[in-house]
Amino acid sequence: MSITVKNLRVSFDTPHGAVEAVRGVSFTIGREKVGIVGESGSGKSLTARSILQLLPSRARMTADELSFDGIDILATRERAMRRIRGKRAGLILQDPKHSLNPVMTAGAQIAESWRAHRGGSRRAAMEAAENLLEQVQIREPGRVARAYPHELSGGMGQRVMIAMMLAPDPEFLIADEPTSALDATVQAEIMRLIDQIASERGMGLLLISHDLPLVSHFCDRVLVMYAGRVVEELRAGELGQARHGYTRGLLSCLPSLTHPTARLNVMQREASWLA
């Protein structure tokens, strides 16, 4: 299972002309955990969604190569994409309040995901749903299965999303800012859960985030994106040896508990980074 991206470009039409949001991004992902870090507007989310052809309709995508386990994504039609999405590659989004159906119980949604890809009776699906809820470390799976999304906390909602995504047993997972809407403690718990699940099942993981320390803590490799380009690629433990000005800027502007400063370092953006 490997994903290859070569020279990916995504652009949008605006009244002021075409704007390129992703400008020639290339990378490969195997059965490993890769993080893409960047600020809003860096193109990280669009890059991840391109892999599953989930771009907004106004977006135009080109690439020299974009393949999922040998399947050429660029040439794949929508119907074939549906066999990949969900079944082979799962997607977790940021805010469970927006990505869970508010009028279905959590258990029903997980069961639906199960049945869509694996078939089987409704009862079998509901049982599988509760089983999955246990796997995502929810202590009272029965109660949560019968609850509606608005009755669940942010962390629980995210666990439900993960369970839904796991139902078809995919090989690859894209997590788009899965913890940005959560508190610090819950963030860590959810990330540990994702990490554990990916390791146990031998899944590939693509983690999108703006939180560099969080990503480097849980990924093997980190790609840093700025203005639509990958400006640096690092192994997780090597952040201290980051060379590009943007990466170093990101690291240095964080407030630190142990090394307090009167003023935080502010990123000085160089025009050369846009080249």
Partner 1 sequence: MAGVMVDVQDLRVHFGSVEAVRGVSFEVARGSAFGLVGESGSGKSSVLRALAGLNSDWSGTMRVDGADLTPRRERAFFRRLQMVFQDPYASLHPRQTIDRILSEPLIVHGFDEIDRRIARALDEVSLPAGMRFRYPHQLSGGQRQRVAIARALISEPEVLLLDEPTSALDVSVQAEVLNLLADLREARGLTYLMVGHNLAVVTHLCQSLAVMVNGEIVETVSSDDLRAGRVQSPHTAALRDLSLDLAEAHGEPAGAEPTFGAGPGEIARRAL
Residue 250 found at the interface with partner 1 (CB under 8 A): yes
**Quick one: which of 60, 183, 199, 235 contacts partner 1 (CB under 8 A)?**
183
- Per-residue CA distances from 248 to 40, 141, 212, 244, 264 (Å): 18, 43, 11, 6, 13
Give the span between the Cα atoms of 215 and 193, in whole angstroms. Answer: 14
**Quick one: which of 79, 240, 271, 272 contacts partner 1 (CB under 8 A)?**
240
Segment contacting partner 1 (CB under 8 A): 62-70, 82-90, 93-101, 255-263?
255-263
Q: What are the structure tokens assigned to 8, written together?
A: 């990916």
**Measured from the CB atom, is 142 or 237 closer to partner 1?**
237
* Coil, strand or helix at 204: strand
**Quick one: which of 57, 121, 261, 272 contacts partner 1 (CB under 8 A)?**
261
Q: Considering only residues 154-173, where is the footprint of partner 1 by CB under 8 A?
A: 154
Segment contacting partner 1 (CB under 8 A): 8-16, 110-118, 143-151, 246-254?
246-254
Segment contacting partner 1 (CB under 8 A): 107-115, 138-146, 170-178, 184-192?
184-192
Residue 264 found at the interface with partner 1 (CB under 8 A): yes
Residue 257 found at the interface with partner 1 (CB under 8 A): yes
Min CB(82)–partner 1 separation in Å: 32
DSSP state, 263? S
* Coil, strand or helix at 94: coil
Contacts of 144 (CB under 8 A, 6+ apart): 106, 107, 133, 138, 152, 156, 160
Q: Considering only residues 23-62, where is the footprint of partner 1 by CB under 8 A?
A: 39-41
Min CB(252)–partner 1 separation in Å: 4
Residue 153 found at the interface with partner 1 (CB under 8 A): yes
Q: DSSP per residue over 22-86, as a string?
A: EEEEEEEE-SSEEEEE--TTSSHHHHHHHHTT---TT-EEE-SEEEETTEEGGG--HHHHHHHBT
Beta-bridge partner residues of 35: 207, 222
Q: Let me know: does 9 contact 22? Beta carbons within 8 Å.
A: yes
Phi, psi of 260 (to 5 degrees): -70, 150
Residue 271 found at the interface with partner 1 (CB under 8 A): no
Residue 212 found at the interface with partner 1 (CB under 8 A): yes
Contacts to partner 1 by CB under 8 A: 39-41, 153-154, 182-186, 188, 210-214, 216-217, 236, 239-240, 248-268
